[in-house]
């Protein structure tokens, strides 16, 4: 007995499926939202970002006996090491007024940038369980890590104020400038963190390379030595002077020194320093946010 074979029905066209899904209010799972919608979603989760940053900060030294004391002790110990190596052995303190406040301010401000970028590099790759389990704008992670480091810096600033008072500094109107400097630096740090979060999500090995990059960046940012004194030397090429003056880390460090240290005068700042600080914040903040958003649907996959 012969059998009649029937051909399978044709598969529905992709356009038909898309039309069917649209008719029933369905959308692609994990699809990248528009940029305005992404901003709205991120703002709606601002309380989560703040709570996540606070929880990470609290848990950071939970296993240490001294607990949260290390939030202040760690940058102070780093400053003490740098003072011994650079200030005493290498003599970078010569000709720099109030070198200890100068150094401690530089170390604290630099640590804010360094730790924000390092934690941002692992923001996605180090939290894959959270990324895969919950639906939320992934930018919340690098932003929360930058906020965590800002909270860390505020703890350290209490110790910095005591050091400044101990070296004869008195609070003045210029101390108010700390607020806009920190705001601009936070935007810059968060933007760079988002760039590194996207790169780290695709290539986790970048996290192993970043300590060397950041250490090199620190050495050329005037943390332990005076950029202003170097710029007055005639043997320094003009292009090097431009790079040193426009270095974003150095810009924020010197603005903080100008705000807090009486002996650090306006003529020691780069030309158009506030324009540089704002420009770097906008470039890193806006550019980094868009760069991160463009890969939103890829995080946690693979």
Helix-strand-coil split of the chain, %, nearest 5:
70, 0, 30
- Cβ distance 182 to 153 under 8 Å? yes
- Cβ distance 72 to 159 under 8 Å? yes
Encode pLDDT of 60-74 as tens digits: 766 666 666 777 777
Q: Which tokens go with 83? A: 């003072």
Encode pLDDT of 179-191 as tens digits: 999 999 999 999 9
Percent of the chain with pLDDT over 90: 48
Position 86 confidence tier, pLDDT thresholds 50, 70, 90:
confident
Kindly tell me if the per-residue pLDDT of 168 is higher than 90: no
pLDDT at 155 (0 to 100): 83
Residue 188's CB: how many other CB atoms inside 10 A? 27
pLDDT at 221 (0 to 100): 93
Q: How far apart are CA 32 and CA 266, in angstroms?
A: 46
Torsion sign (Cα): 279, 280, 286, 290: positive
The structure's pTM equals 0.86
- Interhelix angle for 99-121 vs 178-202, to 10°? 30
* Section 11-19 average pLDDT: 59
pLDDT at 47 (0 to 100): 94
Encode pLDDT of 187-203 as tens digits: 999 999 999 999 999 88
Percent of the chain with pLDDT over 70: 87
Kindly tell me if the per-residue pLDDT of 255 is higher than 60: yes
pLDDT at 10 (0 to 100): 60
Kindly tell me if the per-residue pLDDT of 16 is higher than 70: no
More confident residue, 93 or 251: 251
pLDDT at 90 (0 to 100): 80
pLDDT at 87 (0 to 100): 81
């Amino acid at each position: 007995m012969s059998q009649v074979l029937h051909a399978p029905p044709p598969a529905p066209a992709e356009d038909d499926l898309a039309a069917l899904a649209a008719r029933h209010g369905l959308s692609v799972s994990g699809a990248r939202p528009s940029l305005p919608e992404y901003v709205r979603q991120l703002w709606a989760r601002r309380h989560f970002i703040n709570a996540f940053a606070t929880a990470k900060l609290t848990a950071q030294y939970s296993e240490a006996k001294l607990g949260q004391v290390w939030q202040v002790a760690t940058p102070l110990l780093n400053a003490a090491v740098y003072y011994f190596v650079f200030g005493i052995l290498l003599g970078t303190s010569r000709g720099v007024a109030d070198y200890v406040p100068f150094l401690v301010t530089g170390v604290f401000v630099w640590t804010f940038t360094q730790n924000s970028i390092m934690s941002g590099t692992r923001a996605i790759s180090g939290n894959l369980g959270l990324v895969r389990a919950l639906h939320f704008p992934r930018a919340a992670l690098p932003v929360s890590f930058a906020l965590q480091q800002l909270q860390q810096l505020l703890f350290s600033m209490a110790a910095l104020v005591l050091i400044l008072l101990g070296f004869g500094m008195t609070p003045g109107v210029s101390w108010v400038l700390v607020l806009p400097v920190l705001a601009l630096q936070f935007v810059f740090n968060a933007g760079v963190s988002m760039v590194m979060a996207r790169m780290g999500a695709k290539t986790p090995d970048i996290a192993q390379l970043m300590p060397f990059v950041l250490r090199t960046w620190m050495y050329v940012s005037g943390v332990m030595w005076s950029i202003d004194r170097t710029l007055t030397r005639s043997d320094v090429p003009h292009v090097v002077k431009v790079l040193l003056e426009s270095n974003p880390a150095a810009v924020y460090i010197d603005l903080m020194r100008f705000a807090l240290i009486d002996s650090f005068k306006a003529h020691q700042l780069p030309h158009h320093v506030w324009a540089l600080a704002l420009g770097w914040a906008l470039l890193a903040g806006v550019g980094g946010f868009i760069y991160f958003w463009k890969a939103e649907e890829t995080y946690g996959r693979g």
